[in-house]
């Protein structure tokens, strides 16, 4: 009996590939860069399953070529790269990789908060450039982290994990979410707040919402105008949730103090992006879940979802 075929669009953990090979023939794009669109469309024609990244668009064009596709396993929590409705119409399972990346992403969010608030990357450049010639009381002075107020926009799994870390830093925690999270409130002391109140009162604002039509450009000129001139904005969600032009103006006009960004509207971000020119911006290349252990677990979960479907079972983390 002919084995089904799985297309894997990037190099992933060898354990995940080995798992897939127990039930299928595996076609891996082995370069550590996105598979070209024309090649993706060609290879997907024979695929029963596809293990994708956020960099691949699974849309009508692709689905029309993928006549025997049964499952799309996205190696991410987000799925804004996938047309869920079009997949549902074709009875194609779509899965993601929640939970396994929660703690690593929360670590990164809090590390970015601290690096931005305490000007760590700016201070590092200052030292390496040979500019440190004397100590002074104002040298690279940042903002307090311990005991400050943290506002979390999007109190999902990662938001709750960030709140747990903030509790250890004695922070007052506000959160804005569609639903009240009573367990998180009990565990961390977090308080539900309107978006305006959160932005006006927080010293640090961490954006952790998924990208949807409701959250697209959620943070714009009005929202940044509500923030304190000493406040720090952190985005570890999706680039599309922020009006980058408005953020740039807020930083230049000193409406807010600094920003830490792991995501951008266009990725990879162009080297001449205006935000990258500002000394009070700490920018990272979308590495929220980038630990060896976490990326390995994400790949294994995506593979396990594919194996389940190919064996006639319900996937573990269906959307």
% residues pLDDT > 90 (the chain): 97
Name the superfamily (CATH) of residues 5-97+292-310. Answer: NAD(P)-binding Rossmann-like Domain (3.40.50.720)
The strand order across the sheet containing 149-153 reads 191-192, 172-176, 149-153, 204-207, 232-235, 258-261, 281-283
Verify whether residue 267 is a known catalytic residue.
Answer: yes
d(CA 242, CA 16): 34
Verify whether residue 122 is a known catalytic residue.
Answer: no
Residue of 119, 238, 295, 300 marked active site: 238
Verify whether residue 238 is a known catalytic residue.
Answer: yes
* pTM for this model (two decimals): 0.91
Residue of 286, 295, 297, 300 marked active site: 286
Ranges in the chain annotated CATH 3.40.50.720: 5-97+292-310, 102-283
Instruction: Read off the pLDDT of each residue in 168-186 and give the average, rounded to a whole number.
Output: 97
pLDDT tens-digit series, residues 223-234:
999 999 999 999
Residue of 89, 196, 267, 311 marked active site: 267
**How far out from the chain centre does Cα 98 lie?**
12
Instruction: Read off the pLDDT of each residue in 257-264 and give the average, rounded to a whole number.
Output: 98
Instruction: Read off the pLDDT of each residue in 250-265 and give the average, rounded to a whole number.
Output: 98
pLDDT tens-digit series, residues 46-60:
999 999 999 999 999
Query: Helices 120-128 and 102-117 sit at what angle, rounded to 10 degrees?
Result: 60
Residue that the structure tokens 């922070």 belong to = 171
Phi, psi angle pair for 134, to nearest 5°: -165, 155
Mean pLDDT (the chain) is 97
Tell me the CATH class for 102-283: alpha beta
């Amino acid at each position: 009996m002919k084995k089904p075929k799985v297309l894997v669009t990037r190099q992933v953990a060898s354990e995940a590939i080995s798992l897939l090979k127990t039930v299928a023939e595996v076609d891996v794009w082995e370069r550590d860069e996105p598979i070209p669109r024309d090649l993706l469309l060609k290879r997907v024609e024979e695929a029963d399953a596809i293990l994708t990244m956020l960099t691949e668009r699974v849309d009508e064009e692709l689905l029309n070529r993928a006549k025997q596709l049964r499952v799309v396993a996205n190696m991410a929590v987000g799925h804004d790269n996938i047309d869920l409705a079009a997949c549902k119409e074709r009875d194609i399972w779509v899965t993601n990789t929640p939970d396994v990346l929660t703690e690593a992403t929360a670590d990164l969010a809090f590390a970015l908060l601290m690096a931005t608030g305490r000007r760590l990357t700016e201070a590092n450049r200052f030292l390496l450039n040979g500019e440190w010639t004397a100590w002074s009381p104002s040298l690279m002075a940042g903002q307090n982290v311990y005991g400050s107020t943290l506002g979390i926009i999007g109190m999902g799994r990662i938001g709750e994990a960030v709140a747990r870390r903030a509790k250890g830093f004695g922070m007052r925690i506000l959160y804005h979410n569609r639903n009240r999270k009573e367990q998180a409130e009990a565990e961390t002391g977090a308080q539900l707040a309107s978006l305006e109140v959160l932005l006006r009162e927080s010293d640090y604002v961490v954006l952790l919402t998924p990208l949807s039509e409701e959250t697209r450009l959620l943070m714009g000129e009005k929202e940044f105008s509500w923030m304190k001139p000493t406040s720090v904005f952190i985005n570890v969600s999706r680039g599309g949730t922020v009006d980058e032009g408005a953020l740039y103006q807020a930083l230049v006009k000193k409406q807010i103090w600094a920003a830490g960004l792991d995501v951008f509207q266009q990725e990879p971000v162009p080297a001449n992006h205006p935000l990258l020119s500002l000394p009070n911006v700490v920018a990272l290349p979308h590495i929220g879940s980038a630990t060896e252990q976490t990326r390995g677990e994400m790949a294994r979960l995506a593979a396990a979802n594919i194996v389940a479907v190919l064996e006639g079972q319900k996937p573990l983390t269906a959307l």
